[in-house]
Structure 1
Amino acid sequence: MRAIWKGSIAFGLVNVPVKLYSATENHDVDMHQVHDKDGGRIRYQRRCEVCDEIVEYSEIDKAYEDGEHRVILTKDDFEALPAEDNDDIDVLQFVPNDQIDPIMLERSYFLEPTSKTPKAYLLLRQTLEKADKTAIVKVTLRTRTRLAILRTRGKLLMIQTLRWADEIREVDFKGVNSRAKISDKELEMSAQLVETYSEDFTPAEFTDDYQEELKKLIDAKIESGETLDLEETFPDEDEDDDTGGDVVDLMEALRQSVDRSRSSKKSGSKQSGSNKSSRKSTKKKAS
């Protein structure tokens, strides 16, 4: 894993040298576009609509248009902006953890201590944990200054960049202001449904089915070529799914959902018990 930034966390007179690493990666299968007629790779060219010449990226400037004005901004213009070349993650304030709205979160990065004696790193991490606080910081990445949060994750410190306040849309949907009456019975049944689905969240239990099926398709095509039978490789698993028809009544929908969830959990626990019994009998035979 390669560090993408090196600097320090600075708050007060305390300085914590760190390296920054991307905390996430994309697991999507990489693909490119080809011509369906002959399989040729599709290439994109930057062509000027005035002179019709193909333009190199180094010869491209940017322009802003508002309908009345058109302003061209050159590379020199951008370099003249007061973009910070700052190697510090500046701590602005500490706030309660629950004041960070998840809608503001963008990209995540891990911070590695680079000092030979990482005491300041450990001190900051333990202080944040004990205080149950999140630090609001500013960090300059690729010449752009971003607002971010500094928080703990296990034994690590990490930052997550934030959207600015004016990037969050304010909406007022008519449906949320509805005067529809929710009965106590409906609320009780809905709470039961939530309870039947309640368990600890384990991210590793969930997988990206689409990407797995895509990889399966690619492997099958490598093995069988264009003669691949798609119906045989991907049988329709929804054909025998009996949903019992459309349920219009809200109470009936809740009742059926609770019953279905409970029966699903029971069958799952029976299967688990069967597996345990099987393992016990196998151990006895082995002994």
Structure 2
Amino acid sequence: MRAIWTGSIAFGLVNVPVKLYSATENHDVSMHQVHEKDGGRIRNQHRCQECGKVVEYDDIVKAYDDGDHRVILTDEDFEALPAGENDDLDVLQFVPNDQIDPIMLEKSYFLEPTSKTPKAYLLLRKTLEDTDRTAIVKLTLRTRTRLAVLRVSGKVLMIQTLRWADEIRDVDFKGVSSRAKISDKELEMSAKLVESYSEDFTPEEFTDDYQQELAKLIDAKIESGETLDVAKAFGDEEDEEEPSGDVIDLMEALQKSVDHSRSSKKKTAKKTGKKATSKKTNTG
């Protein structure tokens, strides 16, 4: 990983030197646009709608247009703004962990201690753990002032940038204010359904099937040329049957869901039992 920012966490008179690393990466298969006829790469051009000429990147500046006025903003204009470059990650307040609404969270970053004696880093981490608090911080990242949370992730301090309050949309959907009556029996059955699906979250169990199949398709095309038998490449895997049609009765839908969940768990348990028996037989 490469550090994208170097500075210090600053709260009170305490400074914690850190480096900032992106905590996530995109696993999507990278592709280009090409001409179908000859496979030639398609290149984007920036063409001015006034003079019709292709404009070089160095000659492009940003502008704000409100419909009546167009204001041109140059690099010098942006550099003159008060945000500028700031090497401090300023702690504004410490708040209870459960007060952070997940809808506000954006990108995640890891913080690496850079001091030869990282005691302040360890102290801050331990304090956040013991007090169940999250720090609200402000930092300048790529010339933009960002609000973020600073929290503990395992043994590492990390920050997650936040959307500003006015970036969260207010909604008033008609359906959520419905006065439809929910019976005790429906609520009980719904709770049983939730319980039948309840288990610890293990993200490693879930994979991006689309990207895996896309990579498999690309590999098959490389091996066999342009012509490709898709069925041969992916096999004849059949999807599980799913109930069709609209289910009007809510209780019936909940009962079917509970039964389906129980049935699936029994099948999984049987398969696991067979595998264990097979392993014992092979070992013997």
Give the unaligned 5+ runs of structure 1. Answer: none
Q: Which residue of 2 aligns with 1:215?
A: 215
Partner of 1:45: 45
Secondary structure in 1 matching 2:275:
helix
- Distance in 1 (CA, whole Å) between partners of 2:231 and 2:248 is 34
Any residues of structure 2 matched to 1:1-287 within 5 Å, and which? 1-234=1-234, 237=237, 241=241, 243=243, 245-283=245-283, 285=284
Q: Determine the C-alpha separation between the residues in 2 that align with 1:167 and 1:245.
A: 39
Tell me, what secondary structure is at the counterpart of 1:92? strand
How far apart in 1 are the matches of 2:91 and 2:162? 14
AA in 2 matched with 1:5 = W
Looking at structure 1, the residues matched to 121 and 184 of structure 2 have their Cα atoms a distance apart, in angstroms, of 51
Q: 2-side partners of 1:115 and 1:80: how far apart?
A: 32
Letter in 2 for 1:216: K
Displacement after TM superposition at 1:86 (Å): 0.9
CA separation in 2, counterparts of 1:245 and 1:263? Answer: 21
Q: Which amino acid aligns with 2:166?
A: D
Cα deviation for residue 65 of structure 1 reads 1.2
Deviations along 1:63-97, whole A, 9 cap, x unmatched? 11112222111222222211231101100000000
1:211-235, Cα deviation, whole Å (9 max, x unpaired) = 0000010011011111201233345
- The one-letter code of the counterpart of 2:74 is T
- For the residue of structure 2 that corresponds to 1:160, the secondary structure is strand
CA positional deviation for 1:240: 6.6
Query: Which region of structure 1 is more displaced relative to structure 2, 98-107 or 83-92?
Result: 83-92
Higher mean alpha-carbon deviation, 92-101 vs 81-90, is at 81-90
In structure 2, the gaps of 5 or more residues are: none
Deviation of 1:204 after TM superposition, in Å, equals 0.3
CA–CA distance in 2 between the matches of 1:61 and 1:244?
A: 54
1:237 Cα deviation after fit: 4.5
**Quick one: percent identity of the two aligned structures?**
76
1:236, CA displacement in angstroms? Answer: 6.5
Q: How many pairs were matched up?
A: 284
1:161 Cα deviation after fit: 0.4
Instruction: Give secondary structure in 2 for the equivalent of 1:226.
Output: coil
Residue-by-residue CA offset, 1:9-67 (whole Å, 9 max, x unaligned): 01011110101000000000000000112111000111112222211111111111112
1:239 and 1:61 map into 2 onto residues whose CA distance is 52
The residue identity in structure 2 corresponding to 1:228 is L
- Residues 273, 259 of structure 1: alpha-carbon distance in 2 compared, 3 angstrom cutoff: same
Single out whichever of 65-74 and 24-33 deviates more from structure 2. 65-74
Partner SS state of residue 30, structure 2: coil
**Does 215-224 or 231-240 show the bigger shift?**
231-240
2-structure distance, mates of 1:247, 1:232: 36
Q: Which amino acid aligns with 2:179?
A: R
- 1:187-226: CA deviations, max 9, x gaps? 1111110001000000000000000000010011011111
Distance in 2, matches of 1:239 and 1:196, equals: 22
Structure 2 letter corresponding to 1:33 = Q
Where do 4+ consecutive residues of structure 1 move more than 4 Å?
235-240
- Equivalent-residue separation in structure 2 for 1:28 and 1:143 (angstroms): 28
Q: State the Cα distance separating 1:134 from its structure 2 match.
A: 0.1
Q: TM-score, normalised by structure 2?
A: 0.96
Q: Which amino acid aligns with 1:90?
A: D
Q: 1:242 to 1:74 in 2, by over 3 A?
A: closer
Q: Give how far 1:281 is off.
A: 2.4
* Residues 78-87 or 227-236, more deviating: 227-236
Q: State the Cα deviation string for residues 128-183 of structure 1 (Å, max 9, x = none).
A: 00000000000111111100000000000000000000000000000001111111
